Chain A
Amino acid sequence: MAIRLPRTDVVIVGGGWTGLTAAYELAHAGRRCVVLERGQFRHTVPDLQSPAMHDELKYALRYALMMDTARNTLTFRNRPEEIALPMRRLGSFLPGEGLGGAGVHWNGQLWRPLPSDLRIRSHYTDKYGAAFIPEELSIQDWGVTYEELEPHFDFFEKICGTAGKAGNLRGQKQEGGNPFEGQRSDEYPNEPMKQPLATTLFGEAAAREGFNPFPMPSANVTKTYTNPYGAVLHPCTYCGYCERFGCGYYAKADPIICVYDRLKGHENFTLRTQSTVMRVNKAPDGKSATGVTYIGDDGREYEQPADMVLLCAYGLWNVHLLLLSGLGQPYDPATNEGVVGRNYAYQTMASTRVFFNGKHRFNPFMGAGALGMVADDFNGDNFDHASLDFVGGGYIAVTQTNGRPVETTPIPSNTPTWGAAFKNAAREHYNSTLTITMHGSSMTRRANYLDLDPTYTDDLGRPLLRLTFDFPDNDRRMSRHVTAQALRIGRAMGGSLVEQSERASDPYSIVPYQTTHNTGGAVIGTDPKTSAVNRFGQLWDQHNVFVFGACLFPQNIGYNPTGSVMGLAYWTLAAIKSQYLANPRPLMGGSP
């Protein structure tokens, strides 16, 4: 029934950061790569050009660049006892669709994890004792260390032309950088962004309060720059249409500019857009995959045989595809057995507003997605947890990303949200209010997981992914503690009013936007009982299937995920090139 296509060496599901990078690296290693992207072809020029791109309604509010939830979505509930219902429109998070994926509409906040983040259970156990870790948490070590990933973090920062300041260069502390970060082998490739008044005031107040502020590492680049693939990036114009938008100025690193344009003519590279992969096909003995079946842009069903299958969709949809394909054992929270869908986590966001009532002009419309100053003093285990009752932490930052007016009406909490008083307050506070963000880690627990929905289906008739999630009490305690620090800085800034404006809701709601940092569900590790893939991202049972993306995170760190996602991607690709291609096999023992 399906049209059988000629065999290829590698079939790659998804044309975003991980998929295009995998194609680049393996095409240049002599392997024929076919990338299947469910969304449209699109390009910086003409699809992301200004001024048409600078349309807040179309892109930020009607989600023109994001996944089409009329066709495919997920169902959601807070607790396993509830009936999950469809996420009928986007809200809490915004997965992408089309060439470049969510890498087109990201902010460009480019972080590495802390060394201790990657061995979290061991780290807390060694330092505070095994009893310290709350019993409800199913957190675990990644099985891969910071030292192993460091060259790959460094390389991806160069792919993006990242603007920043090192805080720890080969063990030497550097003035003006993050003193808590792991050792870097090299300085950032570009100088930090210019800082506006709001972020500068935050940095000054944080320093006065004893914090160690530094400029946020940014993939909005600060000078004309050629990346290791030969792609040229240009200086950011601080246009204020960054996150939720694509960059038409070649200034925000994205997969189209940084990877696709340098790969598109390669003889080993084929891209098929509007091609939705239905399932990964298993060999009769179940020990490997034979390729994928997909619906092409003509609506017909194709089988693409391949020697290797790389799952490079957005993390949630990688998990969906594993479940639909019967790859790995689905997680069952009742028995706590199985691995696919296990350890879903999110990001624990909170914010504090500082009102200056006309005393300053911040001009928030002069912004960029990763323009900000950060204090990392209360992230990870950068602060002593011995007297505290939680694991994890978060960074505290002021960013100036945009002043788009539909999204930017900061008003004090005692002001009505409509009517004459609202209108007056919206006008009064628009240009003299800033927001301190608390970007917190998200720990895993048994009741937070992904599986297939029993009722609702996508437009191709497949069960929707079902998300069951609420914030663990651990994370609420963490958020309260770190938010108290943000309030302390806020009060030191000289504003007329400081208020906590948002916190981790009780229970978690899928309605208000929080962040597009969904993690877990196909986690990396060294034990097939608690990880879906081995420490190289390779399935335990089907050795020619590799998984990429934030679905690999065993729990979520207090940082934005893309740097970690791409560090893992290059780590996996290095293992494929150096160990797997010449001798395809399981790269780790331990298969049950």
Chain B
Amino acid sequence: MPREQMPAPGSAPLLLRRRTVLAAALALAHPGWVFAQGVPVPDKGEFFFLSDREARILTAAVDRILPQDRWPSASQAGVVEFLDYQLATEWGQGDRLFQQGPHQAGTPQQGYQLPHTPAELYRAALADASWNAFVTASPGEQDNMLKALEKGEARLGDISGATFFTALRQNTIEGYFCDPIHNGNKGMAGWRMLGFPGANAYYLTEVDRFDLDYAREPSGVAHRPDEAMPPPAQRRGQ
């Protein structure tokens, strides 16, 4: 039986439409951006936290974690903008993170023990020179570099590769599947991919209908299409 009532995600019209919509939406929000093969390349001054170099590294890295297939890649779905906003605002700045010292290495069971906020962790990890070759490397080479981080075989300055990769993977998933109000999941692409209807909240008459093909246009928490989170108090360079 058909699993999706929506047009098959691989069909050309939808893909074209999504690209067009994404590109148009991104172009409106970021008039300085250039679009190459559907991947937005950030221009100078468009990010709240990330430098251009950091954004290029992250664009390449998150697109290996969630590459483009019939559905957008992570960066196409806004994950870099999501990360930028997250790092610029409360969570990235250490909200809810216990920061008192002494900081000392513990066991894996004791969890995160670095003195860095998430913003500091990303900044320090991305400053490592090993990323310079990453951006221009082939996808296979990029995967090998990320695997070395994941396994803890490579370090990024004083930061364990595994610590950074764990954060990057988690934040990429978050940015791909979160409510679009957080700048990720552009066009609700992540939700459409899974068939998740979003912030819809009323299934009283459907919950006990077995194998129901529930294909409803997803909706987010925003009341207006252009509703967005407030800008951070501080932007880069200020």
Q: Quick check: A73 and B98 within 8 Å, CB to CB?
A: yes
Contact A89 B112 (CB under 8 A): yes
Q: How large is the interface on A (under 10, 10 to 19, 20 to 34, 35 or more residues)?
A: 35 or more
Residues of B near A358 (CB, < 8 A) are: 3
Q: How far is the CA of A358 from the CA of B90 in the complex (A)?
A: 39
Closest chain B residue to A241 by CB distance? Answer: B201
Query: What residues on B are CB-neighbors of A55 within 8 Å?
Result: 179, 181, 199, 221
Contact of A57 with B182 in the complex, beta carbons under 8 Å: yes
Chain A interface, DSSP helix/strand/loop, else mixed? loop
Do the beta carbons of B96 and A405 come within 8 Å of each other? no
Q: Which residues of B contact A6 (CB under 8 A)?
A: none
Q: Give A351 to B206 CA distance when docked, in angstroms.
A: 27
Q: Give CA–CA (A157, B207) in the complex, Å.
A: 24
Tell me whether B194 and A195 are in contact (CB under 8 A): no
Among A63, A239, A404, A419, point to the contact of B201 (Cβ < 8 A).
Answer: A239
Give Cα A394 to B25, complex, Å.
Answer: 51
Closest A residue by C-beta to B62:
A418
Whether A57 pairs with B104 at a CB distance below 8 angstroms is: no
Q: Are B169 and A366 in contact (CB under 8 A)?
A: no
List the A side residues contacting B194 at CB < 8 Å: 405, 426-427, 430-431
A581 CA to B212 CA, complexed, in Å? 58
Q: Which residues of B contact A420 (CB under 8 A)?
A: 67, 69
| Structural contact, B206 and A91, CB atoms closer than 8 A | no
| Cα-based distance from A427 to B189 in the complex (angstroms) | 12
**Which of A57, A61, A200, A358 gathers most chain B CB within 10 Å?**
A57
Q: Are the C-beta atoms of B96 and A68 separated by less than 8 Å? A: yes
Contact of B102 among A62, A77, A455 (CB under 8 A): A455
How many B residues face the partner with a CB closer than 8 A?
63
Q: Which of B169, B181, B199, B221 contacts A417 (CB 8 A)?
A: B169
Of the 9-residue stretches B31-39, B152-160, B170-178, which lies at the interface with chain A?
Answer: B170-178
Kindly state the separation between the CA atoms of A90 and B91 in the bound complex, as whole angstroms: 13
Known pairs A88-B111, A423-B71, A511-B108; A194 contacts B212 (CB<8 A)? no
Complex Cα spacing A419 to B211, Å: 29
Evaluate whether A405 and B191 lie within 8 angstroms (CB atoms) in the complex, with A61-B174, A91-B111, A511-B109 already known.
Answer: yes
Name A86's contact: one of B98, B146, B197, B208 (CB within 8 Å).
B98
Q: Kindly state whether residue B29 has any CB partner on chain A within 8 Å.
A: no
Please indicate the chain A residues that have their CB under 8 angstroms from the CB of B172 in the complex: 418
- A361 and B213 contacting across the interface, CB-CB below 8 Å: yes
Residues B211 and A361 in contact, CB atoms below 8 Å apart: yes
A residues contacting B by CB (< 8 A) are: 50-52, 54-57, 61-63, 68-70, 73, 76-78, 82-91, 194-197, 200, 235-241, 249, 358, 360-361, 363, 365-366, 371, 403-406, 409, 417-420, 422-424, 426-427, 430-431, 455-457, 505, 507-511
Query: Could you pull out 17 A-B pairs where Cβ atoms are within 8 angstroms?
Result: A55-B181, A56-B179, A68-B96, A70-B97, A88-B113, A196-B210, A235-B204, A241-B201, A363-B207, A366-B203, A403-B196, A405-B196, A418-B169, A423-B67, A424-B69, A427-B71, A511-B111
Extra A-B contacts (7), CB below 8 Å, given A236-B204, A241-B201, A511-B111:
A69-B97, A70-B95, A85-B113, A88-B112, A195-B208, A361-B3, A456-B100
